[in-house]
Protein backbone atom coordinates (compact mmCIF):
# COMPACT_ATOMS: atom_id res chain seq x y z
CA UNK A 1 0.00 0.00 0.00
CA UNK A 2 1.27 3.48 -0.69
CA UNK A 3 2.51 5.11 2.55
CA UNK A 4 3.12 7.35 0.65
CA UNK A 5 22.50 38.14 11.43
CA UNK A 6 22.77 43.17 14.17
CA UNK A 7 26.42 42.33 15.23
CA UNK A 8 26.81 43.18 18.92
CA UNK A 9 28.26 46.62 19.61
CA UNK A 10 31.43 46.28 21.64
CA UNK A 11 32.37 48.82 24.30
CA UNK A 12 35.90 49.43 25.42
CA UNK A 13 37.17 51.13 28.62
CA UNK A 14 38.34 54.72 28.12
CA UNK A 15 41.97 55.40 28.97
CA UNK A 16 41.05 58.74 30.63
CA UNK A 17 37.99 60.22 32.26
CA UNK A 18 34.47 60.05 30.97
CA UNK A 19 32.16 57.44 29.50
CA UNK A 20 33.40 54.43 27.51
CA UNK A 21 33.68 54.86 23.77
CA UNK A 22 31.42 52.81 21.49
CA UNK A 23 32.89 51.00 18.52
CA UNK A 24 30.80 49.61 15.69
CA UNK A 25 30.77 48.88 11.98
CA UNK A 26 28.61 51.14 9.88
CA UNK A 27 28.01 51.23 6.16
CA UNK A 28 29.72 54.02 4.27
CA UNK A 29 27.20 56.76 3.46
CA UNK A 30 26.31 57.31 -0.16
CA UNK A 31 27.67 53.92 -1.25
CA UNK A 32 25.08 51.34 -2.42
CA UNK A 33 24.68 48.22 -0.27
CA UNK A 34 24.62 44.89 -2.12
CA UNK A 35 22.11 42.13 -1.40
CA UNK A 36 21.90 38.69 -3.01
CA UNK A 37 18.85 36.43 -3.04
CA UNK A 38 18.75 32.63 -3.02
CA UNK A 39 17.68 31.02 -6.29
CA UNK A 40 15.71 27.90 -7.20
CA UNK A 41 15.08 26.08 -10.45
CA UNK A 42 12.96 23.02 -11.23
CA UNK A 43 14.85 20.57 -13.39
CA UNK A 44 13.45 19.14 -16.60
CA UNK A 45 13.91 15.77 -18.27
CA UNK A 46 15.80 17.30 -21.19
CA UNK A 47 19.54 17.91 -21.28
CA UNK A 48 19.25 21.51 -20.17
CA UNK A 49 16.99 22.88 -17.48
CA UNK A 50 16.18 26.60 -17.29
CA UNK A 51 19.07 28.78 -16.20
CA UNK A 52 19.22 29.50 -12.50
CA UNK A 53 19.08 33.26 -12.02
CA UNK A 54 20.65 34.95 -9.00
CA UNK A 55 19.47 38.54 -8.60
CA UNK A 56 22.02 41.00 -7.22
CA UNK A 57 20.40 44.18 -5.93
CA UNK A 58 21.78 47.58 -4.91
CA UNK A 59 20.09 49.63 -2.19
CA UNK A 60 20.26 52.67 -4.47
CA UNK A 61 21.34 53.41 -8.00
CA UNK A 62 25.06 53.92 -8.30
CA UNK A 63 26.42 57.08 -9.84
CA UNK A 64 29.18 55.06 -11.49
CA UNK A 65 29.67 51.51 -12.69
CA UNK A 66 29.67 48.83 -9.96
CA UNK A 67 31.81 45.72 -10.34
CA UNK A 68 31.53 42.61 -8.12
CA UNK A 69 33.46 39.36 -8.44
CA UNK A 70 31.55 36.09 -8.15
CA UNK A 71 32.13 32.34 -8.12
CA UNK A 72 30.14 29.18 -7.54
CA UNK A 73 30.99 26.70 -4.79
CA UNK A 74 29.79 23.12 -5.05
CA UNK A 75 27.78 21.39 -2.35
CA UNK A 76 25.58 18.41 -3.23
CA UNK A 77 25.22 19.52 -6.87
CA UNK A 78 27.97 18.32 -9.21
CA UNK A 79 29.82 20.61 -11.60
CA UNK A 80 29.26 19.42 -15.15
CA UNK A 81 26.47 17.05 -14.17
CA UNK A 82 23.96 19.23 -12.41
CA UNK A 83 25.23 22.73 -13.20
CA UNK A 84 28.20 24.55 -14.72
CA UNK A 85 30.59 26.08 -12.19
CA UNK A 86 31.46 29.66 -13.09
CA UNK A 87 33.47 32.63 -11.90
CA UNK A 88 33.72 36.17 -13.21
CA UNK A 89 32.87 39.78 -12.61
CA UNK A 90 29.36 41.18 -12.57
CA UNK A 91 28.94 44.71 -13.88
CA UNK A 92 26.03 46.87 -12.79
CA UNK A 93 25.79 49.90 -15.02
CA UNK A 94 25.59 53.38 -13.55
CA UNK A 95 22.00 54.28 -12.78
CA UNK A 96 20.89 50.64 -12.43
CA UNK A 97 19.86 48.94 -9.18
CA UNK A 98 20.09 45.25 -10.08
CA UNK A 99 21.71 42.67 -12.32
CA UNK A 100 21.42 38.92 -12.83
CA UNK A 101 23.99 36.14 -12.72
CA UNK A 102 22.68 33.21 -14.77
CA UNK A 103 23.96 29.68 -14.12
CA UNK A 104 23.45 26.79 -16.53
CA UNK A 105 21.70 23.78 -14.97
CA UNK A 106 21.14 20.32 -16.41
CA UNK A 107 18.11 18.07 -16.42
CA UNK A 108 17.67 14.32 -16.29
CA UNK A 109 15.19 11.57 -15.57
CA UNK A 110 16.87 9.98 -12.53
CA UNK A 111 14.99 10.05 -9.25
CA UNK A 112 17.30 11.92 -6.90
CA UNK A 113 17.41 14.33 -4.01
CA UNK A 114 17.25 18.09 -4.46
CA UNK A 115 20.79 19.36 -5.00
CA UNK A 116 22.46 22.66 -4.23
CA UNK A 117 25.49 24.87 -4.68
CA UNK A 118 26.53 28.32 -3.44
CA UNK A 119 27.10 31.61 -5.26
CA UNK A 120 29.64 33.84 -3.53
CA UNK A 121 30.17 37.56 -4.15
CA UNK A 122 33.47 39.25 -3.21
CA UNK A 123 35.53 42.37 -3.94
CA UNK A 124 32.76 44.89 -4.55
CA UNK A 125 33.94 48.07 -6.26
CA UNK A 126 31.65 51.06 -6.25
CA UNK A 127 29.37 49.31 -3.74
CA UNK A 128 29.63 47.59 -0.36
CA UNK A 129 28.38 44.56 1.51
CA UNK A 130 26.34 45.26 4.64
CA UNK A 131 27.98 45.47 8.06
CA UNK A 132 31.48 45.54 6.67
CA UNK A 133 31.30 41.98 5.34
CA UNK A 134 33.96 40.92 2.85
CA UNK A 135 31.71 38.49 0.98
CA UNK A 136 28.11 37.56 0.42
CA UNK A 137 26.64 34.12 -0.26
CA UNK A 138 23.35 32.68 -1.46
CA UNK A 139 22.14 29.13 -2.07
CA UNK A 140 21.14 27.77 -5.45
CA UNK A 141 18.80 24.76 -5.30
CA UNK A 142 17.94 22.40 -8.16
CA UNK A 143 14.60 20.72 -7.43
CA UNK A 144 14.15 17.15 -8.63
CA UNK A 145 11.09 16.66 -10.83
CA UNK A 146 11.17 12.90 -11.29
CA UNK A 147 9.66 11.56 -8.10
CA UNK A 148 6.16 12.92 -8.46
CA UNK A 149 2.89 11.09 -8.12
CA UNK A 150 2.85 7.30 -8.05
CA UNK A 151 6.28 7.12 -9.63
CA UNK A 152 7.94 7.25 -6.21
CA UNK A 153 6.18 5.48 -3.39
CA UNK A 154 6.62 3.41 -0.28
CA UNK A 155 4.58 0.25 -0.05
CA UNK A 156 4.10 -2.26 2.73
CA UNK A 157 2.25 -5.51 2.31
CA UNK A 158 -0.09 -7.32 4.66
CA UNK A 159 1.36 -10.35 6.44
CA UNK A 160 0.09 -13.54 8.00
CA UNK A 161 1.43 -16.06 10.51
CA UNK A 162 0.18 -19.14 12.31
CA UNK A 163 0.79 -18.33 15.97
CA UNK A 164 1.23 -21.89 17.22
CA UNK A 165 0.32 -23.34 20.61
CA UNK A 166 3.32 -22.05 22.57
CA UNK A 167 6.46 -19.97 22.36
CA UNK A 168 6.72 -17.26 19.80
CA UNK A 169 6.99 -16.85 16.08
CA UNK A 170 7.56 -13.82 13.92
CA UNK A 171 5.38 -12.05 11.45
CA UNK A 172 7.46 -10.34 8.80
CA UNK A 173 6.31 -7.17 7.06
CA UNK A 174 8.01 -6.49 3.74
CA UNK A 175 8.41 -2.77 3.00
CA UNK A 176 9.34 -1.66 -0.50
CA UNK A 177 10.47 1.51 -2.24
CA UNK A 178 9.01 1.72 -5.70
CA UNK A 179 12.48 2.46 -7.07
CA UNK A 180 15.99 2.99 -5.70
CA UNK A 181 17.37 6.39 -4.76
CA UNK A 182 21.00 7.45 -4.41
CA UNK A 183 21.16 7.97 -0.63
CA UNK A 184 20.00 6.14 2.46
CA UNK A 185 16.36 6.77 3.37
CA UNK A 186 14.75 6.14 6.76
CA UNK A 187 11.14 5.78 7.81
CA UNK A 188 9.64 5.39 11.26
CA UNK A 189 7.40 2.46 12.10
CA UNK A 190 5.27 1.28 15.01
CA UNK A 191 2.76 -1.45 15.70
CA UNK A 192 -0.85 -0.68 16.59
CA UNK A 193 -3.24 -3.18 18.19
CA UNK A 194 -6.45 -4.27 16.58
CA UNK A 195 -8.30 -7.39 17.61
CA UNK A 196 -4.87 -8.70 18.64
CA UNK A 197 -3.71 -7.24 21.95
CA UNK A 198 -0.31 -5.61 22.33
CA UNK A 199 1.84 -7.48 24.84
CA UNK A 200 -0.53 -10.46 24.89
CA UNK A 201 -0.83 -11.63 21.33
CA UNK A 202 2.18 -9.81 19.92
CA UNK A 203 5.19 -7.85 21.15
CA UNK A 204 4.87 -4.13 20.40
CA UNK A 205 7.74 -2.80 18.34
CA UNK A 206 8.73 0.60 17.00
CA UNK A 207 11.84 2.03 15.45
CA UNK A 208 13.41 3.32 12.29
CA UNK A 209 13.70 1.31 9.11
CA UNK A 210 16.65 2.13 6.86
CA UNK A 211 16.92 1.66 3.12
CA UNK A 212 20.55 1.89 2.06
CA UNK A 213 21.41 3.70 -1.17
CA UNK A 214 20.09 1.57 -4.02
CA UNK A 215 18.09 -0.73 -1.75
CA UNK A 216 14.39 -1.18 -2.38
CA UNK A 217 13.34 -3.85 0.13
CA UNK A 218 13.51 -3.88 3.93
CA UNK A 219 11.65 -5.89 6.55
CA UNK A 220 10.15 -5.37 9.99
CA UNK A 221 9.91 -8.40 12.29
CA UNK A 222 7.26 -8.56 15.01
CA UNK A 223 7.17 -11.40 17.59
CA UNK A 224 3.82 -13.17 17.93
CA UNK A 225 2.93 -15.28 20.98
CA UNK A 226 1.34 -18.70 20.73
CA UNK A 227 -1.42 -20.10 22.95
CA UNK A 228 -3.89 -22.94 23.09
CA UNK A 229 -7.04 -20.84 23.30
CA UNK A 230 -9.67 -21.46 20.67
CA UNK A 231 -10.09 -18.06 19.07
CA UNK A 232 -10.72 -16.39 15.77
CA UNK A 233 -8.03 -14.85 13.63
CA UNK A 234 -6.66 -11.72 15.30
CA UNK A 235 -5.10 -8.72 13.67
CA UNK A 236 -2.78 -5.81 14.42
CA UNK A 237 -1.22 -3.17 12.17
CA UNK A 238 2.16 -1.81 11.20
CA UNK A 239 2.01 1.96 10.72
CA UNK A 240 4.67 3.89 8.82
CA UNK A 241 5.12 7.60 9.43
CA UNK A 242 6.82 10.33 7.41
CA UNK A 243 10.57 9.89 7.36
CA UNK A 244 12.81 12.37 9.08
CA UNK A 245 15.98 13.93 7.71
CA UNK A 246 16.81 14.41 4.06
CA UNK A 247 14.40 12.70 1.71
CA UNK A 248 13.37 13.24 -1.91
CA UNK A 249 11.35 16.45 -2.20
CA UNK A 250 8.58 14.67 -4.04
CA UNK A 251 7.73 12.72 -0.90
CA UNK A 252 6.80 15.82 1.09
CA UNK A 253 3.11 15.71 1.95
CA UNK A 254 2.58 12.39 0.15
CA UNK A 255 2.64 10.13 3.19
CA UNK A 256 -0.39 8.59 4.80
CA UNK A 257 -0.83 6.52 7.94
CA UNK A 258 -2.44 3.69 6.04
CA UNK A 259 -1.30 0.56 7.89
CA UNK A 260 -0.47 -2.93 6.78
CA UNK A 261 -2.36 -5.65 8.61
CA UNK A 262 -0.96 -8.80 10.19
CA UNK A 263 -3.31 -11.71 10.72
CA UNK A 264 -2.52 -14.24 13.45
CA UNK A 265 -4.37 -17.50 13.26
Residue of 240, 252, 215 whose CA lies nearest to 156: 240
Tens of pLDDT, residue by residue over 108-136, are: 777 666 788 999 999 999 999 988 899 99
Gap between the terminal Cα atoms of the chain: 22
Count Cβ neighbours within 10 Å for each residue of 79-115 and write b for 16 or more, e otherwise. eeebbeeeeeebebeeeeeebebebebbbbeebbbbb
**Highest-pLDDT range among 2-6, 202-206, 211-215, 233-237:** 202-206
**Mean pLDDT score, 45-69:** 92
Write down the pLDDT at residue 22: 41
155, burial (CB in 10 Å: exposed 0-12, middle 13-18, buried 19+): middle
- Rounded Cα–Cα distance for residues 37 and 52 (Å): 12
pLDDT of the residue at 132 = 85
Domains of the chain, first to last: 26-143 (2.60.40.2030), 149-264 (2.60.40.2030)
In 82-179 the beta strands, taken as DSSP E runs, fall at 87-92, 98-106, 115-125, 128-129, 135-143, 154-156, 159-161, 168-177
Is 87's pLDDT higher than 70? yes
Amino acid sequence: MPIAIEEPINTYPASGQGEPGIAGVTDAPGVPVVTLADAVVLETNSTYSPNMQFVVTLSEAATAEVRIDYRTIGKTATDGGDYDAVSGTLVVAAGQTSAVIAITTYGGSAVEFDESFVLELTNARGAQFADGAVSLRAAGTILDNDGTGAKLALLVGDAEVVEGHSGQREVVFEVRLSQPVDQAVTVNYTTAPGTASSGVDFAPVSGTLTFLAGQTVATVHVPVYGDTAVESTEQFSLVLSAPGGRVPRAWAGSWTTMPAVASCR
